[in-house]
Structure 1
Amino acid sequence: MKAIAEADQFAGSLGAADGAAAANQHIDASGMRVDRRRVRGRASAINPAGRFEALATVEVDDGWQSLEDLPPFKTEVQVERARTVITRNQSPDISFDRSINPYRGCEHGCVYCFARPTHAYAGLSAGVDFESRLFVKPDAARLLEKEITRAGYEPRTIAIGTNTDPYQPIEREWMVMRSILEVLERHNHPVGIVTKSALVVRDADILARMAEKGLAKVALSVTTTDRMLARTMEPRASTPTRRLEAIKALSAVGVPCSVMVAPIIPGLNDHEIEKILDAAAAMGATQAGYVLLRLPLEVAPVFKEWLLRHYPERYRHVMSLIRSMRGGKDYDSEWSKRMSGTGPYAWQIARRMEMACKRLGLSARGKPLRTDLFVRPKPAGEQLELL
C-alpha cells in the first residue's frame, strides 16, 4: 500500500528530537483519518475500509472549516443469527481442530489483534469498527447442543477465545459464554479457554467442577506488566495485575491455568518475558506459551499507526526487528513460522522462554483433557430410556 510506504518513509526520517512532535501528528497510514477526540479510550485511531470494499472514504479539510464535529465512537452490539456455532480448522500448527466464538469484534481493542481482518467479511473496518461495532450470538448455547447431538459427532477439546475474547465487557450483559459452559458441563465436553479478562473468574464454579473431571483449562494472556503500555495497547482489557490475580483465583479452586506471553513485540515488551513468567508462576500457573507479533492484512496499518502515535522514536527499531524475523516482510503466514518467526532474534526469544520455563517448572504442554466422559445429548423427540 502506498500509504503504508509513505508512513514508513516518514518514520524513517524521524530523529529522537522529533519524537514529541511526531506523537502529535496524525499519520494517515490507511486512507481514513479519525479525529482523536472521537476515539478516546480506543487503541486504533484509524478506520480503513475493508479489503473487500470497492470504495473508501477520506476526510479532507478544504480550508473552509466546514467539517462537522462528529460524535465519539460508541460500542454498538448487533445480534447475529448464526446457523452453526462450532468452527473447524485444519491448520497444522494449531493444537485444536474446533473452536467457538460467542462474539465477533472485540471491545478490548488490542491494537495488535490478528483477528481484526475478519471484520472485513461484514463490510466493516479492521480499525475502530472492530473495537466498537460488535456482533453477539445469543443462540450459541442452543446451537452448540444441537451440533453435539448429531450422529457421528466425536468430542474433542473446543477452544474458546481464539479469535475474539469470550469475556470482553459485553459478556457481563449477554452472558453467552456462561450459557455455553453450562451446556459443555452438562454433557462432560472438554473446553480450553484463552482470555485477557478477569471476568473469567465469574465462572469459576463451573470451571472448577469441570476441571475436577479433567474437562477444563484456562490460559490468561499477559502481554506486559506495564500498566501504561497495557492501557494504550489493549485499552479495555483487564489490567495486567487483575489477569495475574485471575490465575491465582482459578488455580486456588483447581482449574489448570497457563500464561500466554502473547504477543511478544520485539523492542517493546520482549524485555518482560522473564518478569511475566515469574509473576504468573508465583500466582499458580503451571504452563506457559508465547506467540510472536503477527501483522496479517489490515493489522499492519493499524499497528503501525499506533506505534507512530505512541512510540515514534521506537518505530524504526521495532519494525526492523519484526522484519528480521519475517523474512524481510511485515508478516510471513507460512505454517510453522507464523507463530514464532525465524532468524537469530526469534531463536533468542524461543531460548529465553525455554530457559525461564525450565527454571520455574512451567510445562510447554499441559495434560490432555478427557473426552471419554462425553454424554451425547438426546435428540429432540427421541424416547427417553426407562432405566
Structure 2
Amino acid sequence: MEAKRILARLRVGARPSVDEMAWFGAAIGAGEVTDAQVGAFAMGICRAPLDEARRVALTRAMRDSGKVLAWDMPGPVVDKHSTGGVGDCVSLPLAPALAACGAYVPMISGRGLGHTGGTLDKLEAIPGYTAEVSEAQLREIVGTVGCAIVGASGNIAPSDKRLYAIRDVTGTVESIDLITASILSKKLAAGLEALVLDVKCGSGAFMKTPEDARALARALVETAEGAGCRTNALITEMGQPLIETAGNALEVAASMKLLTGEVPSGPLKELTLALGGELLALCGLADGPEDGAARIGTVLDSGEAAETFERMIHALGGPADFVGSWRRHLAEAPVVRDVFPDAPGIVARIDTEAVGMAVVTLGGGRLREGDRLDHSVGFDALAAIGTRVSARRPLAQVHAASEDAAERAARDLRAAYEITETGAPAPPLLHERIAS
C-alpha cells in the first residue's frame, strides 16, 4: 500500500478502507511513514471520523506493532483504565482487591498528564518502589502476587508512542478515534481477557460534558469488544476531586486508610466497588456487578486486599512492612497550613482542573517532561461541593515545600472555588453504565 494514496483520500474527507487503516497503523511503528505523513493522517481522521470497523482495525494494528503479552494463569487476566482526574487513586486499592478475588492484574499505568495525577507517580512516593520492570519480572510478580502496577516497556505499542507525540504538536489530541486507539492499543497489548473503563466527565476531566464522555465511552467499549476483549465502561463525575486529597504521597495515604479500614466508606470505596464489581462480572468471577461489588467489599473489609497490596509493593522494591508502617515511610511536606476562603458561604462549584494544576505548580506534577516531582506536596481536607466554609472551616490544607509556594497555591485554590450563599447540590458520582 502507499501512504500518499491513503492521505489523498483523507484529504477530501473520504475514509480509507479497513485494510488501509490497518496498514497505516502498523506502518507508524515500523517507521515506514514520515512524521509529516503521520501528522497528515491524524488531521485527516479528525476530518473524516472512523466507523467501528476502521477504528478496530487501527487499534489492532497499533496493538500488534510491538509486544503483545500472552498469559497462562489459573484465573482471568483483567485491568482497569481511567481517562484521568484529580484525587483519583482508585487503581491502588482496586488492583489488589481484584487479585484477592482471584483475578490476575498486569496493570500497565502511566504518569501524570497535564492537570491529572499519574498512578506511577503516586506509587513512586513509596520508598524503593520501581515501576520499570522486565517482562520476566512482570510475569513473576503477577503470577505470585496476583497484581503488579508498572509502566509500559518500550516495545509495547510503539505505533502509539510515535503517533501520540505527533498528535501533541499537531492539535489532534482530542479526536475520539485517536484517543480510543491510543488507550486501547496499550491496554490490549497486555493480553487482557476483560477490561473496565472509568470515563470521567466534568471540570477536572478531558471530556467536560456527559455527552462527550458518553461518545468516548461508547467508542472505547465498541472498539475493545471488536478487538476481542470483554469491556464495560462507567461514566463518573470529575466536577470535583474524587477524594478530599490531591497529591502523590497524600493519595497513597488515602488509599492506605481505605485498605486498612481507617476510612471504611466514601467515594473512593464507592468507585472501587463499582469498577471492581463490573470487572469481576465481566471475567466470570461474579454473578453480576452487584455480586462483584460485594466480593470486592469483602476483601477490602477483611484486610486481604491490604495484604496483597503490601506483597506487591515489596515485590516491586518497596518496604516489606508497608501496611503497618506507611505513615513512617511517606514523605511529609515541611509547610502545612490551612487555606481559608475570601468570604464565608457554601461551595457551589469547583474548577477541578485548576485544583490539579495547583498541585502541579507546587511540584507535585510536571510542567515539562523530565521535571522531578516532590511527592510530599498537595492538598488535604479539600472542601466538597455543598460544604459550608468560613474562617473556621477552611477550603483545604496545603502541603508545600516553602511558605512562598504555600501562599501561591492558596491563591490558586481560592480562585478554583466558587462560594455562594446558597451553594449547589453535589453531582452524583456514578452517571451511566455503558455495556456492549
**TM bucket normalised to smaller:** under 0.3
TM-score normalised by structure 1 residue count: 0.26
TM-score normalised by structure 2 residue count: 0.24
- Which structure shows the higher helix fraction? 2
